[in-house]
Amino acid sequence: MLMKASTPSSVLLVCLGNICRSPTAEEIFRQQAAIAGLNMKVDSAGTGDWHIGHAPDIRAQRHAKSHGYNISKLVARQVSAEDFYNFDLILAMDTQNLADLQAIKDELLGANSNEESLAKLALFSEEDPTYGGDSVPDPYKGDGNAFEEVIERIESSSKAWIESWKAV
């Protein structure tokens, strides 16, 4: 498939804990990118530090598995300043994650990094015709439906990003 020259070569998916939404997004995005023939580095991280080193939440693992996504081997980590230099695009699962990421980026810009050397930031749903502008709701305190909703939204928004990079 022919892709636009502006297609990022690396994408980081970010949520709060890196144990529910963003590891699920990492696997779904990676699979969809591979299907589209995109050679892209895909990773995930959390803005918080509570779950560093942990496997994804067992509920997230089970719901992902039932849709054909194995996230059992992923390990949570916290987002860092280096990520802004190492990734082309960082996508936030919700508006709070986006604000927290923007604060890190603003600090780096204040410390004399130029905009072009830092990752672009966006809401994960930004390109999505169905869910555009929405947050992917935090399922941590929710039920099974919350985890199903996460998968539905992530499949939709991942597809929309990849569509947006296809050359027409």
- Residues lying near ligand 4NP in the complex (CB under 6 A) are found at 15-21, 46, 50, 138, 140
Considering the complex, state which of residue 28 and residue 38 has its C-beta at the smaller distance from ligand 4NP. 28
* Of the candidates 30, 2, 33, the residue with the CA atom closest to the CA atom of residue 162: 33
What's the closest the beta carbon of residue 166 comes to ligand 4NP, in angstroms? 28
CA dist 120 and 125 (Å) reads 15
Q: Which amino acid would we find at residue 61?
A: Q
Handedness of CA 138, 24, 61, 67 (dihedral sign): positive
Residues involved in catalysis: 15, 21, 138
Considering the complex, state which of residue 9 and residue 102 has its C-beta at the smaller distance from ligand 4NP. 102
What's the closest the beta carbon of residue 138 comes to ligand 4NP, in angstroms? 5
What's the closest the beta carbon of residue 70 comes to ligand 4NP, in angstroms? 17
Considering the complex, state which of residue 114 and residue 141 has its C-beta at the smaller distance from ligand 4NP. 141
CA distances to 1, 91, 100, 166 from 4, in Å: 10, 19, 29, 6
